[in-house]
Structure 1
Amino acid sequence: MAVSSVSVAARNLGAVIDDASRGPVHLTRRGRPVAAVIAVRDLDRLQRLAEDMTDILDAEAARHEMRETGVEPLLWERVRADLGLR
């Protein structure tokens, strides 16, 4: 893990970007962590994982509510048929 102060990183932005292509670069101000620079591919992966986790949590919440209320799930085939879709 690379660590740099914000002031040093500002003077050496190209090097920070190069370092970030190999792994996160943690930026500090007065010795405290304040930010990180990561590669775009890592950001894309984190965003996909966050979306997947949101979907998983939403589905679990829906299953829990259905158990609590006794509501039966609708099968996708039934929904499509009810809407006149193929």
Structure 2
Amino acid sequence: MSDMTVSDARARLADVVDTARVGHKPVFLTRRGHRIAAVVDAGDLEKLMSAAEDLADIQAAQAARKEMDDGEDAIPWDQVKSDLGLS
């Protein structure tokens, strides 16, 4: 990982993009010593987003199972279909 000021990144944009795209290393952009943004490879970002969505789904399923274990009633399948506009 590398840090670079926004001004330096602006002057060396092609290098910044190549570092992220080819080297698969994020480049953090800084302003006044604070990280404010990052340049990452698009494919790497898509993988991260997909992994985050998968994790959110797993956590939601675990929460639903806990609700069921705690005695909450399940939502009837017909109602689920109706809520989703599938019936």
TM-score by length of 1: 0.78
Residues 27-74 of structure 1 show CA distances to partners (whole Å, capped at 9, x for unaligned) of: 1001111111100111011111011001101100100000011657x9
Rg larger in structure: 1
Query: Which letter does structure 2 place at the counterpart of 1:18?
Result: D
Counterpart in the other structure of 2:2: 2
Give 2:46's aligned residue.
Answer: 44
Q: Does 1:15 align with 2:32?
A: no
Task: Provide the identity percentage.
Answer: 43
| Structure 1 residues without counterparts, runs of 5 or longer | 80-86
Q: CA deviation at 1:3?
A: 1.3
Q: Work out whether residues 2 and 19 of structure 1, in 8 Å CA contact, stay in contact via their aligned partners in 2.
A: no
Q: TM-score, normalised by structure 2?
A: 0.77
Say what the alpha-carbon RMSD is for the aligned residues: 2.1
Distance 1:55 1:41 in 2: 21
Structure 2 unmatched runs, 5+: 78-87
What amino acid maps onto 1:42 in structure 2?
A: D
After superposition, residues 7-86 of structure 1 pair within 5 angstroms as 7-21=7-21, 22=23, 23-69=25-71, 71=73
1:20–1:38 contact (8 Å) kept in structure 2: yes
- Maintained 8 Å contact 1:9/1:16: yes
Moved more, 62-71 or 38-47: 62-71
